[in-house]
Amino acid sequence: MFRMRSLVVGLVLICAMAGVRTLSDALGQDAQETQVSDEEYEIYSAMIKELYVRPETKLWMIEDRTFRYDFSGGDEQPWKDKPKGLIIDPSAVADYEIKNHGQSLLHKSSFKLPVKWDSITDADLRAIFHGHWGELEWTEYYRRFPDSSGFIMLSRVGFNTDHTQALLYTGSRSGPGYGEIHFLLLEKANGTWAIKKQLRKNKFG
């Protein structure tokens, strides 16, 4: 009887340990899913080169955490008013929405850019601008970063199931009254990501 009881207890402990290991593995997998992938950095690098790098560009600052832009303060979704004949895979939309529920940390070593760049935190920006984007604040910004062309904000990239289509928000500010946002549809052809269509482009101050 004692031996049988010990066997039962042993089996319960083994099952419990297996359950803990399974839960730990699941939590580890969830943590990995929140990390920005190498393919996302590939898209960031290609997009920044296409949109923001000019012959005179010396330095860009990039916010160190991803950002989701609220286009209207409501339910407006840029992929809904797409040009006629343009097909956006619903799986790319779903992936974009899931990934951008929160923020993700961006790692400097993962970008491959043809110009110098550095990261800037939200705390740094609040310390400089205090929510005001006037001339005095921008003077302070360029005093701290004299070679900078401004700063760039990036969302997570949403991919379709086949990883042939992607959605990305990017925005930039560079001075009083100078700023713009882009919501981009990208497609992959012959192993290279390129901007297929700007679904939305707005300017703001």
* Cβ–Cβ < 8 Å for 187, 165: yes
CB atoms within 10 A of CB 194: 13
CB atoms within 10 A of CB 52: 19
User: pTM of whole model > 0.85?
Assistant: no
DSSP letters, 126-171, are HHHHTT--SHHHHHHHHHHSTTEEEEEEEPPPEE-TTSSEEEEEEE
Q: What is the mean pLDDT of residues 98-109?
A: 92
Residue in 135, 129, 112 with CA at minimum distance from that of residue 49:
112
Residue in 79, 102, 85 with CA at minimum distance from that of residue 160:
79
For the chain, give every domain's residue range: 1-33, 36-203
Per residue in 38-92, pLDDT (tens digit) is 999 999 999 999 999 999 999 999 999 998 876 555 546 777 766 677 889 999 9
- Provide the 3-class DSSP secondary structure of residue 179: strand
Per residue in 174-201, pLDDT (tens digit) is 999 899 989 999 999 889 999 999 988 8
> One-letter amino acid identity for 171?
G
The phi and psi torsions of 114 (rounded to 5 degrees) equal -85, 0
DSSP letters, 83-126, are PTT----HHHHHHHHHHTTS--BPPGGG---SSEEEEE-HHHHH
